[in-house]
Structure 1
Amino acid sequence: MPNCTVEPVDLGRVGRRVIEAAFDGGDIVSDGGVLLLRQVDQRIGLTKSIARVFDDQRRRASVAHSMRDLLAQRI
Structure 2
Amino acid sequence: MTNCSVPSCNFQGPKSRKIEFNFSDGAISNDGDLLFVKKFDCKLGLTRRAGKLLTSFDIRQSGKVKHSFLDMLRKRVFALVAGNGEPLRSS
The bucket for the TM-score relative to the shorter chain is: 0.5 to 0.7
What are the ranges of 5 or more consecutive residues in structure 1 without an aligned counterpart?
1-5
What are the ranges of 5 or more consecutive residues in structure 2 without an aligned counterpart?
1-6, 78-91
Contact 1:51/1:68 (<8 A) preserved: yes
Larger RCO (CA within 8 A; separation ≥ 6):
2
Report the Cα offset of residue 32 of structure 1.
0.6
What is the TM-score of this pair, normalised by structure 1? 0.63
Aligned equivalent of 1:52 = 52
CA deviations on 1:37-68 (whole Å, 9 max, x unpaired) are 11111111111100111211111111111111
The structure 1 residue matched to 2:24, chosen from 23, 26, 51, is 26
Partner amino acid for 1:18?
I
Q: Tell me how far apart the structure 2 counterparts of residues 19 and 60 of structure 1 sit (CA, whole Å).
A: 42
Q: Tell me how far apart the structure 2 counterparts of residues 49 and 36 of structure 1 sit (CA, whole Å).
A: 19
What is the TM-score of this pair, normalised by structure 2? 0.54
Deviating beyond 4 angstroms after TM superposition, the runs of 4 or more aligned structure 1 residues are 14-17
Count of aligned pairs:
66
Q: Secondary structure at the match of 1:32?
A: helix
RMSD (Å), alpha carbons: 3.0
Contact 2:51/2:73 (<8 A) preserved: yes
Contact 2:8/2:20 (<8 A) preserved: no
Cα separation, partners in 2 of 1:37 and 1:47, compared to 1, 3 Å: same
Identity of aligned residues (%): 27
